[in-house]
Homo-oligomer: A and B are copies of this chain.
Amino acid sequence: MTLTHEAPATTAATVESLTLAGAVNHALADALAADPSVVVFGEDVGVLGGVFRVTDGLAARFGEARVFDTPLAESGIVGAAVGMAMNGMRPVVELQFDAFAYPAFEQVVSHVAKMGNRTRGALRMSMVIRIPYGGGIGGVEHHCDSSEAYYAHTPGLTVIAPSTPQDAYSMLRAAIESPDPVVFLEHKKLYWAKGPVDSVRRVGLGRAVVAREGTDATLVAYGASVLTALEAAEVAAAEGRSLQVVDIRSLAPLDDATIEAAVRSTGRAVVIAEAPGSVSVAAELAARIGERCFEYLEAPVRRVTGFDVPFAPPKLERYYLPDVDRILDAVDSLNWDDR
């Protein structure tokens, strides 16, 4: 699969075809090279290069002082990153899988998110917490959670979930440069999908993008669900229905302007996400669209999300995950008789 939102704009010299994992690797390398205060640490990120090889080669290139393994302690990793950020470093930490970020929850919610506010900006938490998340890879329990709601609900955090290698590269660079703490969610299913990456291109945090133009209804998604949405739009197009796809990319803050404009232009919306739907980012999107586009809506905003159950075991995940058919069913339910 190839992943891009648009044709790269700059010269061929800076453009490479990379997997999303490769794009993250490049972003880390370029950030390490650009700024001596950037440090990368976590479990197995050193000599092994991470269990997904995202940090491959970085320890060798930048040395063990800047790219290193820690003791196996996630609260420790994040808590130490807080202290490092207090002392002028820009830590980029990896938590190995979604569910293994939970031990760090107190540090994330009580300190990472609040230290800047607490100190009136004197101690900003300029740090990135990278979390491989999501399912669709046949992973066993605790390896496939979509945990973004926990972070997106927490004031003070910026939460990013790119769906293309370009966004992964550009938004990770922006995340590392951000004065604020960023939870950077990398969808595991996308790790090996390739796309062009222009290392000169900058993508700011907090901005959604229209990944496909369309006029009949708007699919709002992020992470791997963007691909499913794009596929659904392709199928729908063949059936004569024009679906717009918005990749929100930034889960917190949400880019209300882009989302609002998109939904207003079609008058119908389906929100797609892998996480259980209740009290989720998808719920927030549905609520906001309802609040901000009420007069424009021809039909209720539908959600196509994971069920409100723990993530499925490998052999059942295809039933759990939002798929093209389920999206199209939701689209079909959007009061088309009115037209």
A residues at B contact (CB < 8 Å): 75, 99, 102-103, 105-106, 109-110, 113-114, 117-118, 141-142, 149-150, 152-156, 252, 254, 275-276, 278-284, 286-288, 290-292, 294, 297, 299-303, 307-310
Choose from B106, B284, B308 the contact partner of A105 (Cβ within 8 Å).
Answer: B106
Closest B residue, CB atoms, query A289: B290
Chain B contacts for A279, CB-based, 8 A: 149, 152-153, 252, 279-281, 283-284
Q: How many copies does the complex hold?
A: 2
Query: Considering the chains assembled together, what is the distance between the CA atoms of A252 and B114 in angstroms?
Result: 27
A337 CB to nearest B CB, Å: 12
A313 CB to nearest B CB, Å: 10
Is A303 a contact partner of B278 (Cβ separation < 8 A)? no
Query: Considering the chains assembled together, what is the distance between the CA atoms of A294 and B302 in angstroms?
Result: 11
Residue with the greatest number of chain B CB neighbours at <10 A, chosen from A153, A156, A287: A287
Is B99 a contact partner of A110 (Cβ separation < 8 A)? yes
A100 CB to nearest B CB, Å: 8
Q: Could you list 28 examples of A-B contacts with CB < 8 Å? A: A99-B106, A102-B105, A102-B106, A102-B109, A102-B110, A103-B106, A113-B310, A114-B141, A114-B310, A118-B141, A118-B310, A149-B279, A152-B278, A153-B153, A155-B276, A155-B278, A155-B308, A155-B309, A156-B310, A252-B278, A279-B281, A282-B287, A283-B283, A283-B286, A286-B286, A286-B291, A287-B301, A290-B290
Query: Considering the chains assembled together, what is the distance between the CA atoms of A66 and B279 in angstroms?
Result: 35
Chain B contacts for A275, CB-based, 8 A: 153
Query: Considering the chains assembled together, what is the distance between the CA atoms of A155 and B292 in angstroms?
Result: 29
A218 CB to nearest B CB, Å: 15
A97 CB to nearest B CB, Å: 11
Choose from B75, B252, B297, B303 the contact partner of A287 (Cβ within 8 Å).
Answer: B303
